[in-house]
């Protein structure tokens, strides 16, 4: 339910059947913050569907396919890291990460107004320490506000070549972009290695996280932003791999 000012009421219980029950694994991931994760699930199942942020067919699989699938990304992020989530949409993966890992300092970057309103409303009602920036990752003003992060995350935003151009400028040298991808991640990496090198990226890997929590595990493309002195060597290696 929404109050008159459009803020999602944290005390609201969705209609029967609107919010799926969390699986047992959710407690392993969220611990004593599971009520916050349930509140987020309820917001997605109600306001998220009503505003077109989540399709109604996704509601029964919100936990496994969306919330837990994103929260387990925290396995790959160091303690107290600064994280920028680009193209955050309905808050995936940024909000599940913020709930599961309150030590992280997270900024959500999203260009569409209706999505940023939803994000800001939920963050305020849930009391999360998360910042929302309306804009696109490639914009200079967004880079000024959100740049210098330890990690940049994304989910279903763009092909790897474009994603690297948008993500890597937002992290410091040796920082990483962590892009949630599907089963074709390895093929995408091989296809776009030259583009990664041109964008200043290297040491790319296809990783999995969430084993025993989500099935199949979450697939992540991890790319490091190289210091300038190492970028030429990476580009030369990319040329030799052709």
Indicate if the pLDDT at residue 240 is higher than 80. Answer: no
> With 90 as the cut, is the pLDDT of residue 166 above it?
yes
pLDDT of 183: 87
Whether the predicted pLDDT of 191 surpasses 80:
yes
Q: Please state, in angstroms and as integers, the Cα–Cα distance from residue 173 to each residue in 53, 164, 201, following that order.
A: 34, 14, 10
Please state, for a pLDDT cut of 70, what percent of the chain lies above it: 88
Integer CA distances (angstroms), 91 to 30, 87, 107, 119, 184, in order: 16, 9, 10, 6, 24
Sheet holding 130-134, edge to edge: 130-134, 105-110, 82-86, 149-155, 171-181, 218-225, 201-209
Q: Residue 229: which pLDDT band, with cuts at 50, 70 and 90?
A: confident
pLDDT tens column, 42-68? 999 999 999 999 999 999 999 999 999
- Chain centroid to Cα 107, Å, comes to 10
Distance in angstroms (rounded) separating the CA atoms of residues 172 and 181: 23
Lowest-pLDDT choice from 8-17, 40-49, 220-229? 8-17
Q: Which of the four pLDDT bands, split at 50, 70 and 90, describes residue 9?
A: very low
Q: Which pLDDT value is given to residue 24?
A: 95
Q: Which of 142-146, 178-182, 213-217, 236-240 has the lowest mean pLDDT?
A: 236-240
Task: Please tell me the predicted confidence (pLDDT) of residue 58.
Answer: 93
Residues in the chain: 242
Contact 115, 89 (CB under 8 A): yes
What is the C-alpha separation between 214 and 211, in angstroms, rounded?
6
pLDDT reported for residue 110: 97
Q: What is the pTM of this model?
A: 0.88
Retrieve residue 154's tokens.
Answer: 């994304």
Higher pLDDT among residues 18 and 32, named by residue: 32
Q: Is a pLDDT exceeding 90 seen at residue 156?
A: no
pLDDT digits (tens, 9 = 90+) for 70-84: 999 999 999 999 999
Other CB atoms closer than 10 Å to residue 168's CB: what's the count?
A: 21
When pLDDT is cut at 50, 70 and 90, the band that residue 18 belongs to is low
Cα–Cα distance for residue pair 16/141, rounded to 1 Å: 44
β-strands 105-110, 171-181 pairing: unpaired
pLDDT of residue 230: 86
For range 181-203, the mean pLDDT: 92
What is residue 51's predicted lDDT score, i.e. its pLDDT? 93
């Amino acid at each position: 339910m929404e109050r008159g000012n459009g803020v999602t009421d944290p005390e609201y219980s969705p209609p029967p059947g609107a919010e799926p029950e969390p699986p047992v694994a959710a407690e392993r991931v969220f611990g004593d913050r599971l009520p916050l994760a349930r509140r987020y699930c309820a917001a997605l199942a109600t306001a998220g569907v009503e505003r077109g942020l989540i399709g109604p067919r996704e509601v029964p699989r919100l936990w496994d396919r969306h919330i837990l699938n994103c929260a387990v990304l925290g396995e790959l992020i160091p303690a107290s890291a600064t994280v920028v989530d680009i193209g955050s949409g309905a808050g995936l993966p940024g909000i599940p990460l913020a709930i599961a890992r309150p030590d992280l300092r997270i900024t959500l970057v999203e260009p569409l107004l209706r999505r940023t309103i939803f994000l800001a409303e939920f963050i305020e009602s849930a009391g999360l320490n998360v910042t929302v920036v309306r804009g696109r990752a490639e914009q200079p003003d967004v880079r000024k506000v959100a740049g210098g992060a330890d990690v940049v995350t994304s989910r279903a935003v763009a092909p790897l070549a474009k994603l690297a151009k948008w993500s890597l400028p937002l992290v410091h040298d040796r920082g990483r972009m962590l892009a949630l991808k599907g089963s074709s991640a390895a093929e995408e990496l091989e296809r776009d290695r030259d583009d990664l090198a041109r964008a200043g990226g290297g040491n790319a890997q296809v990783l999995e996280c969430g084993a025993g929590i989500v099935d199949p595990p979450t697939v992540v493309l991890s790319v490091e932003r190289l210091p300038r002195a190492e970028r030429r060597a990476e580009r030369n290696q990319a040329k030799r791999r052709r």
